[in-house]
Amino acid sequence: MKREIDVLVIGGGVVGVCAAYYLGLQGRRVTLVEKGEICAGSSYGNAGLVVPSHSVPLAAPGVAMKALGWMLDPESPFYIEPRFDGALWRWLWRFWRSGSERHVRRALPLLRDLHLASRALFAELTRLEGMACAYEERGALYAFRTREGLEAGVREGQRLQEAGLQARVLDRAQVSQLEGMEVRAEGGVYYPQDAHLVPDRFVRGMGQQLETQGAEVLPHTEVLGMARQGGRVGLVRTTRGDFAPREVVLAAGSWSPLLAGQLGLSLPIQPAKGYSITFKRPAPCLAVPLLLGEAKVGVTPMGEWLRFAGTLELAGLNLSINRRRVEAILRAVPAYLPQIDPSAMELVEIWRGLRPATPDGLPFLGRVPGCENLTIAAGHATIGLSLGPITGKLVSQVVCGSPEFDLSLLRVGRF
């Protein structure tokens, strides 16, 4: 027997819960299924940064070359586990091709507008009752130890400034002054419009908001299969029975290609593993989140914690923890922050998550051609927390009417 329902949202990460919330506000009756607990995936232990400063897409000129230089070093910020996997090599080829100046020129204004709109929604959502997730609008500082790194950081800051975002170049003394502690850097770029929060508290808080709205939230419910009937998804099989939804929203992060594949759709998303290491907040501590420019490590003071996050590893759907890479993140810290010694701090958790990465650094967001009741919202890579609320709002607009932004750059069939 299949149960007829209105909207089925697959995935209880930041994208799924925000989509379900805004669909509820549009008056839709939502069922959300999540194979683990709410916030079991990449949304759990990330760096918690809301980042208009990340409006240049990951696929930008020079990035693929730099990554190539890093990929053979197992301790570098970027690593590819050597293996024969056709989908991975096709993805890398597309990543290489996407990193053009033209792509950045087209994508940057859209990413800027989406990040800023999302930030405004964070300010609203985190004021809802029960949303205690330590949301702070303090900006973020990118610090660089080398002249070369600083010059590249300043160039990026200028580019974002020309696009209308706020960016302030700081000298060595100003960097330490802003953080309220010694930072060993040539200088930095401060982005006052960035913000941060404790990501799992935000996502679980949104899960609670769904219950308050009257949505049906089903954790520990895995989608096992989906089948087409004519030009639509007719059946979704789960560990809690079969559903016949009027609308389906696929928001399963790095697992989305597995489910889309059952409908004959190819979604080029590669899981890009990253790690975070969370400690009890030491004293003294940073005043604002700090990104260690050359090491590509984010350091976020969040609530009662201090979290270090970094590395990007293309190793498939593999959740193992590579201690060498965790240690490489921590080893990078004292060179920038001599007053912070991770080996003397109280460890809370070591975590890994899979960023869902597309070849052009833009998510998939929209309806699927030839499958009229399916909307995909996946592939947010390094910016999924930041874009979570606006993605959710746009999903509700795609399902119920027309979106407030032109989403053609994010269309599902673009590869």
Ligand X SMILES: Cc1cc2nc3c(=O)[nH]c(=O)nc-3n(C[C@H](O)[C@H](O)[C@H](O)COP(=O)(O)OP(=O)(O)OC[C@H]3O[C@@H](n4cnc5c(N)ncnc54)[C@H](O)[C@@H]3O)c2cc1C
Q: How many CB atoms lie within 10 A of CB 63?
A: 18
Binding segment (CB under 6 A) for ligand X, from list 86-94, 101-109, 159-167, 352-360: 352-360
Which one of residues 7, 9, 16, 322 is an interface residue with ligand X (CB under 6 A)? Answer: 16
Distances from the Cα of 270 to the Cαs of 80, 90, 225, in angstroms? 11, 10, 20
Output 186 or 200, the one with its CB closest to ligand X: 200
Which one of residues 58, 167, 175, 223 is an interface residue with ligand X (CB under 6 A)? Answer: 223
DSSP state of 130: T
Output 188 or 356, the one with its CB closest to ligand X: 356
Per CB under 6 A, contacts with ligand X among 42-81 are: 42-43, 46-49, 51
Q: Which two tokens stand for residue 320?
A: 């193992």
Surface-to-core class of residue 1, CB atoms within 10 Å of its CB (0-12 exposed, 13-18 middle, 19+ buried): exposed
**Rounded distance between C-alpha atoms, residue 288 and residue 47, angstroms:** 13
Which one of residues 139, 384, 389, 392 is an interface residue with ligand X (CB under 6 A)? Answer: 384
**Rounded distance between C-alpha atoms, residue 150 and residue 188, angstroms:** 7
Distances from the Cα of 245 to the Cαs of 31, 32, 135, 265, 287, in angstroms? 9, 11, 35, 19, 47
Min dist CB 59 to ligand X, Å, is 15
Q: How many CB atoms lie within 10 A of CB 29?
A: 14
Surface-to-core class of residue 35, CB atoms within 10 Å of its CB (0-12 exposed, 13-18 middle, 19+ buried): buried
Output 98 or 276, the one with its CB closest to ligand X: 276
Output 186 or 371, the one with its CB closest to ligand X: 371
Report the DSSP beta bridge partners of residue 10: 33, 250
Q: Which two tokens stand for residue 307?
A: 């979290």
**Rounded distance between C-alpha atoms, residue 390 and residue 368, angstroms:** 19
Binding of residue 270 to ligand X (CB under 6 A): no
Which one of residues 7, 20, 23, 40 is an interface residue with ligand X (CB under 6 A)? Answer: 40
**Rounded distance between C-alpha atoms, residue 209 and residue 216, angstroms:** 11
Q: Which two tokens stand for residue 269?
A: 């998303």
Which one of residues 236, 386, 407, 410 is an interface residue with ligand X (CB under 6 A)? Answer: 386
Min dist CB 173 to ligand X, Å, is 27
Binding of residue 164 to ligand X (CB under 6 A): no
Per CB under 6 A, contacts with ligand X among 246-265 are: 251-255, 259
Min dist CB 40 to ligand X, Å, is 4
Binding of residue 33 to ligand X (CB under 6 A): yes
Binding of residue 366 to ligand X (CB under 6 A): no
Output 52 or 187, the one with its CB closest to ligand X: 52
Binding segment (CB under 6 A) for ligand X, from list 138-146, 162-170, 177-185, 269-277: 269-277
Binding segment (CB under 6 A) for ligand X, from list 14-22, 67-75, 156-164, 262-270: 14-22
Positive/negative CA dihedral, 343, 348, 352, 353: negative
Contact of 206 with 23, CB cutoff 8 Å: no
Which one of residues 208, 222, 305, 405 is an interface residue with ligand X (CB under 6 A)? Answer: 222
Number of chain residues interacting with ligand X (CB under 6 A): 43
Residues 6+ away with beta carbon under 8 Å from 72: none
Which one of residues 245, 301, 356, 361 is an interface residue with ligand X (CB under 6 A)? Answer: 356
Contact of 288 with 141, CB cutoff 8 Å: yes
Which one of residues 170, 277, 383, 398 is an interface residue with ligand X (CB under 6 A)? Answer: 383
Q: Which residues are at the interface with ligand X (CB under 6 A)?
A: 10-16, 33-36, 40-43, 46-49, 51, 222-223, 251-255, 259, 274-276, 309, 353, 355-356, 378, 380-386
